[in-house]
Structure 1
Amino acid sequence: MDEAITHLKVPMDHEERAVCLGPDGSVGHVGRVFRMLSGRWKLAILFRLFAAPSMRSSQLLRDMPGISQKMLTQHLRELEGDGLVERQDFGEQPPHVEYRLTRAGSSLMPVLLAVREYSRDHLTV
């Protein structure tokens, strides 16, 4: 019989439980990442930027039919604020701005790809 993975279990001791379930525990950290990814278009933006080294917002708009300029700008700002995307302004006229994944954004991609595989492996009909 397989051994139980004890480090993944929630401790029963009240003090240890707070460390696991508190804001600095596993639940807090995973919840923070989920909040960073919440938003209808954020995953699509991240996957597009993963596929291309950098993109202008007009390219992102073309690649994601249905998203408005306002929503794209809002999500890009939130992703930038969370440190997943960086904005590079070339200081030109007309404005030339490109977006790319940061190191943190790039390091999140294997996790998202693993979630994709989990979804593929656990399809329900």
Structure 2
Amino acid sequence: MLDTITHLKVPVEQKDRSVCLGPDGSVAHVARVMRMISGRWKLPILFRLSAEPFMRTLQLKRDMPGISQKMLTQHLRELEQDGLIERRDFGEQPPRVEYRLTGAGRALMPVLMAAREFSRGN
């Protein structure tokens, strides 16, 4: 039975497994990031914003054929709430809003690029 418990095989310097499994452990942090980027359109949004310093909603919609305005708005709001993107409203008429990656969003991009390279290699 102990052979099938994989979390016991995770290398940690301390004997305390809460480092890995506790509420502030490695698993919790990785799961949080996975929740932040889960959703059909979140990764395309992040990759598009990493390629441009800022983008307007209509530009994002044009670059992602098949996304509805509702889903784009929902994913943009979630990414903003998670601190990965920043919304800038110019308060003009007609409305002008731009999005860009935050520092946290830029810090996440090397991780996503590493995941891409991992996928290409397997």
Same fold (TM over 0.5): yes
Separation of aligned partners in 2, 1:54 and 1:114: 23
* Alignment partners' CA distance in 2, 1:42 and 1:22: 28
Aligned-pair Cα RMSD in Å: 1.4
Point out where structure 2 has 5 or more consecutive residues left out of the alignment: 1-9
Moved beyond 6 Å, runs of 4+: none
* TM-score for the superposition, normalised by structure 2: 0.88
For 1:61, the aligned partner's letter is: K
How many matched pairs?
Answer: 113
Shift of 1:12: 9.1
Percent sequence identity over aligned pairs: 73
The separation in 2 between residues aligned to 1:39 and 1:22, in whole angstroms, is 26
Query: Aligned letter for 1:27?
Result: V
- Could you tell me how far 1:19 is from its partner in structure 2? 2.7
Structure 1: unaligned runs, 5 residues or longer? 1-7
1:40 aligns with 2:40: yes
Distance 1:19 1:12 in 2: 8
Distance in 1 of aligned mates of 2:32 and 2:67:
25
Contact kept, 8 Å, 1:49 with 1:55, in 2: the verdict is yes
